[in-house]
Amino acid sequence: MTVRKDERGGMAIPPRSAARRPKAFGVKNPSLSTAPVPPHLVSPNSCPVQDAELTRQGQKMTQEITTYIGLDIGKAEIEVFITRLEQSQTVTNDRSSLSVLARKLRKIPNAHVILEATGGYERLAHERLTEAGIPTSVVNPIEVRQFIRGMGRRAKTDAIDAAMLAEFGQVRRPDPTPLPSAEQQRLSELLIYRRQLIDERTRLTNQMPHYRDPLVKKSAASRLKTIAADIAKIENSMLETVQAVPRLKALFALISSVPGVGAISTLTLIAQLPELGTLTRRQIAALVGVAPFNRDSGGMRGYRAISGGRPQVRMVLYMAALVAMTHNKVMRQFRDTLISRGKPKKVAIIACVRKLITILNALVRDAKPWRDLPEAAAA
């Protein structure tokens, strides 16, 4: 082997070609190669056990990498984007096509599907994929739209939306959305239809004084009677559904034990707030949309205000809080204390709503009726 002199110190050093460490053929990064290392290349200071453990950890991390798949849901078609394959395809939004898609996605290791809530068109995909054992997250479309704007994307197509949903999953890593029970799905659908009937009844009631034609008046009056009968049937059906399931029956008794919380409020919480009793008081308040958020910048202290949440749940809790402030001594004293401190009445009402959902959350968590809570005992 030829040697050359170092110009600065005169030390003999081997040529560069001999100093280079050989690389494994076909491997871009030798440190990730699982092939055995020749004995003459093993450093005497290395630990074989530690090297083997690092290799196993690297293989485990590679296996646990999640592949996020974005689904842009439409009424007739679904655009599918697979992150690892960097490709998209279109499937029909029906049972057979979703079953075929589920079989394909099950072959992808650690697949996680991200899709938006689209007014009901996403329910079939959510059900099929979850039943196939594929983690599926139904995310808020407002958050996704804000994420896309933050990424600087201005163009909008189904393929782009599917790709951005997959990228949203990589950044946010949402938890899978569990499927609601059959009873919860039925209660939720009945509640939505009941709300639509109430809106229609309100519209007809407001229009009745302006009708002059006898035929129109008679038709409107007949329609109002039909709506009232349908609302009564729906409410009875919801109560029968709850009474038929022991778990829901016990939950209904717990929630309705609080003075001021009626049957419709209780049914709404059971159907549309299944997380009740599983979250902290701050988390449940933010989920409902009654948690005040800061608006501070530098030396400026902005006005705290609520935002987001589930509007239907917040609406029934608002009405329940108004009733509770009259018939519930604990809520009435809490409201009077806030007003005596100078809080505006609207702020005091929202604070009562937040206190009410906090009480209900603790009540369901501990499986104790209202009379057994410390607040009721103090009253």
pLDDT digits (tens, 9 = 90+) for 15-31: 444 444 433 333 334 33
Is 308:292 a contact under the CB 8 Å cutoff?
no
User: Is 319 in a helix, a strand, or coil?
Assistant: helix
Residue 241 pLDDT: 94
pLDDT digits (tens, 9 = 90+) for 211-236: 999 999 999 999 999 999 999 999 99
Instruction: pLDDT tens for the chain, 379 residues: list them.
Output: 444 444 444 444 444 444 444 333 333 343 333 444 444 444 444 454 455 554 455 444 444 688 999 999 999 999 999 987 777 899 999 999 999 999 999 998 899 999 999 888 999 999 999 999 999 999 999 999 999 999 888 888 999 999 999 999 999 999 999 998 899 999 999 999 999 999 999 999 999 999 999 999 999 999 999 999 999 999 999 999 999 999 999 999 999 999 999 999 999 999 999 999 999 999 999 999 999 888 888 888 888 888 888 999 999 999 999 999 999 899 999 999 999 999 999 999 999 999 999 999 999 999 989 887 766 655 5
Mention every residue, 6+ apart, whose C-beta is less than 8 A from residue 95: 124, 128
Residue 376 pLDDT: 62
In the CATH hierarchy, which fold is given to the domain comprising 67-172?
Answer: Nucleotidyltransferase; domain 5 (3.30.420)
Q: Any idea what the Cα angle at residue 88 is, between residues 86 and 92, rounded to 5°?
A: 155
Q: What tokens appear for 204 in the block?
A: 């007809």
Residue 64 pLDDT: 66
Would you tell me how many other CB atoms lie within 10 Å of the CB of residue 350? 21
Q: What tokens appear for 272 in the block?
A: 């549309």
Residue 57 pLDDT: 53
CA distance 254 to 246: 12
Residue 56 pLDDT: 53
CA distance 286 to 259: 23
Residue 87 pLDDT: 78
Count CA atoms within 13 Å of residue 241 on its CB side.
21
